[in-house]
Structure formats: C-alpha cells, structure tokens
A and B are shown apart, each in its own frame.
Chain A
C-alpha cells in the first residue's frame, strides 16, 4: 500500500502529557497537510508544508502545537501539555503540488483524559 500512513492510529493520554504523531506521505509528494476533526464536524486545516518549509499555520495551531517535516519526507505533529479539548482525530494528507488532489491518511484518534 503506497497511500498516506499515520502512526499511531489511536492514542490515549492524560491531561498535561505530551504526544507526538507521525505522518508518512505518498512518496514524492511535495505538499503535506495536517487537519483536525472533531465529532460530527468536517476536518479543519492546521498547517501545511512544501517540502521541509512550513508555509501556513492556522490560528487553531496554538503555541502548544508544533509540526515539523525535517527532510521533506515524513512529518511529526507534537502537542505539548495536552488538554481535554485536544481530543480529536488528527488527519494528514499529501499532494504532489499545490492545488492538486489531497490524499488523506486514516488519521490518529487522540483521547485526552
């Protein structure tokens, strides 16, 4: 399977802990995106990368959130000092170029207790 993969698929953590998610995009896709989705809502944009450069961050991405794509391949999304409101599905997508079709991974479901 050469689609977008995300790890872990599920994460349960206690409030105040740090968590890190990984996304592996489709090989050779230059653009990588992170979205967050809460129950009953459509995905909301968080940030995106062109190769290793982070080009845009949403206001949803508070100071506790940080994303990296160090070598222009996989990406990590870290949430520090998690809060219950961070409980959501975190989705990663990739595309070959700007404005091209985005291909989504299966998501990481986070539950903060």
Chain B
C-alpha cells in the first residue's frame, strides 16, 4: 500500500491560514488523496479528497502537487474548533480491499 508521511504536530494562531502538508512519494495513478480529521473524543470526519486537480469545499481546500507526490490541506481561517488530528490517506479506487488505512496523522493546535 502506498503510504503517507505527515508532521506529528503543528500549531496555528486563530484566524490565520493553516497549511497541513502530506508526502506520498509512492502514490499510484489510481490513488485518490483523502483527508479526514478527528476532533477530541469523536470519530473521524471526512474533510476533502482529490485525484489530480485542486479541490475546494466549505471546510477546506486541497492543493495537489503536479507530480502528485505531495499535497497540502489548507484551512483558510483556523478556528478553535479546527483543533484536531488530521489524517492524509490514499485510497485506490480499484483496490480489492475497502478499508481506510490511517497513519498517526498531524495533531493541529490552534492558539487563541
């Protein structure tokens, strides 16, 4: 399985943009890049996903490098509610398995 590498932790000031990086140098052509986040004492929550083009939704933006070996989740204005563990995950749409394989993720702290 293609793996991802993320920093263990990051800090951001409230109301400032946050850029969460993810490296996936062994990504295959059929791997989608997914981001989930997990707030304290809750289950993971889907954030965004993409294949090649940058993606935007109401929660965040996903910037994907041209070679697809890295991506960045962008929170445009961090709020205290964005303090969570963020997981960058690869999912192969043609895989015979259907589980989500989580790494340790990046723990984001938001400073008031």
Which A residues touch B42, using CB under 8 A?
Answer: 106-107
- Find residues 33-74 in chain A having any chain B CB closer than 8 Å to their own CB: 33, 35, 40-45, 48, 55-56, 58
Q: Scan A72-113; emit 1 where CB is below 8 A from any B CB, else 0.
A: 000000000000000000011100001101111111000000
CA distance A104 to B45 in the complex (A): 7
Select A91's contact among B44, B93, B101, beta carbons within 8 Å.
B44
Q: By DSSP majority rule, is chain B's interface helix, strand, loop, or mixed?
A: loop
From residue B36, how far is it (CB to closest CB) to chain A in Å?
8
| Contact among A4, A98, A102 with B100 in the assembled complex (CB-CB below 8 Å) | A102
Contact count A vs B, C-beta below 8 Å? 55
State whether A48 and B103 are in contact (beta carbons under 8 Å apart), knowing that A99-B91, A101-B46, A106-B43 are contacts in the complex. Answer: no
Total B residues in contact with A, Cβ cutoff 8 Å: 22
B94 to chain A, nearest CB (A): 8
A42 engages B97 (CB within 8 Å): no
Q: How far is the CA of A73 from the CA of B102 in the complex (A)?
A: 25
In this complex, the interface size class of chain A, counting residues with CB under 8 Å from chain B, is 20 to 34
Closest partner residue, chain B, to A34 (CB atom) = B99
Pick the contact of A45: B43, B49, B100 (CB < 8 A).
B100
Contact assessment for B49 and A44 in the assembled complex, using a CB-CB cutoff below 8 Å: no
Q: Are A45 and B93 in contact (CB under 8 A)?
A: no
Partner of B102 from the list A42, A56, A103 (CB cut-off 8 Å) is: A42
Chain B contacts with A in 25-76, Cβ cutoff 8 A = 34, 41-46, 49
Residue of B whose beta carbon sits closest to that of A95: B98
With contacts A43-B44, A101-B49, A107-B43 taken as known, whether A56 is within 8 angstroms of B87 at the C-beta atoms is: no
Extra contacts besides A33-B98, A106-B41 (11): CB < 8 Å: A42-B87, A43-B102, A44-B102, A45-B100, A56-B98, A56-B99, A91-B44, A98-B98, A101-B46, A105-B43, A106-B42
